Amino acid sequence: MFKNSHLFFVPEELNLLRAFNRKQLEFVDEFVENIEQHIEKCTETVFVQRWAGDEGEVVEVEKQHIAGIAQDAYDVKETFTTVMPMYQRQAMLLSTWSMFDNEINTYYSRLANKVGAKSIKREKGSSDLAYMILSLQAIGVVSEPSERFTNAFNRLNDEVRLVRIDWAHYGGKAVKSKFIEQTDGLRMNGSQIDISVAYIEEVTELMWTLSTEITQSARTHFCDN
């Protein structure tokens, strides 16, 4: 009834995205370490009036900038070595979550279509991830999850998902995630959640844990029945 391709859910996209993220981080680290090499100087003509009534004069001033962002408008070193990398890491977390969410939905739909399963009732307040796991369990997949699976699911659902919501909908402010200061790999950078590289790697491993056990369970369940 099922081909191996229908039962396989350790999304290759997750592996590809992780590899791409790692390369991006390498480039960013190199950029930050060599920030001085990226600061350019340019001469700009400005009008200077020293006091009221002064006719003023046009003078040339030397300015520093990175990719057109001038030092007098921003602290370019701080912006490009601290703030922008923080935004890049949050984008990595959001894209990883989005990809995993799409893959698990696609996987469930493929299995459900094969067995003719109907959608189960969704509990009020249930997350998309929790609903997908319950839907898989309703067709016999991960009906008896391991402790490792349960722990991974709980962290993704009760922690990572909330961090993702706060960046996606609240500009990185800790509105839903009140646990930031007590969580390894997360900290507050001013008013925003700063996500470490190690945290992104850990999140990816949690997703692999769910993916692997879902695949093993589906193969066992549908091949034995």
DSSP-derived secondary structure for 166-210: HHHHSTT--SS-TTGGGSTTEEEETTEEEE-HHHHHHHHHHHHHH
Cα 139 vs. chain centroid, distance in angstroms? 30
Closest CA to 118 of 108, 128, 107: 108
| pLDDT in the model for residue 156 | 98
Average pLDDT in the chain: 87
| pLDDT in the model for residue 185 | 97
| pLDDT in the model for residue 67 | 79
Domain count, the chain: 1
> Which residues form the domain of 85?
4-36+81-224
Cα 137 vs. chain centroid, distance in angstroms? 27
Residues of the chain with pLDDT under 50: none
Burial class (CB in 10 A: 0-12, 13-18, 19+), 24: middle
Helices (H) and strands (E) in the chain, counts: 9, 5
Query: pTM value?
Result: 0.83
| pLDDT in the model for residue 121 | 87
| pLDDT in the model for residue 89 | 96
In a domain, residue 65? The reply is: no
In a domain, residue 210? The reply is: yes
| pLDDT in the model for residue 117 | 85
| pLDDT in the model for residue 44 | 66
| pLDDT in the model for residue 26 | 92
| pLDDT in the model for residue 109 | 92
| pLDDT in the model for residue 9 | 78
Give the pair of three-digit tokens for residue 209.
């844990």
**What pLDDT, in 10s, does the model give residues 52-93?**
767 777 666 667 778 777 766 668 788 888 999 999 999 999
In a domain, residue 14? The reply is: yes
| pLDDT in the model for residue 41 | 77
What are the DSSP calls for 106-174, one per residue? HHHHHHHHHHTPPPPPPPTT--HHHHHHHHHHHTTTTSS--HHHHHHHHHIIIIIHHHHHHHHHSTT--
In a domain, residue 57? The reply is: no
Q: How far, in Å, CA of 181 to CA of 193, rounded?
A: 10
DSSP at 225: -
For the range 20-24, what are the long-range contacts, defined as Cβ-Cβ under 8 Å and sequence gap of 24 or more?
A: 21/92, 21/96, 21/200, 24/88, 24/92
In a domain, residue 111? The reply is: yes
| pLDDT in the model for residue 7 | 65
In a domain, residue 29? The reply is: yes
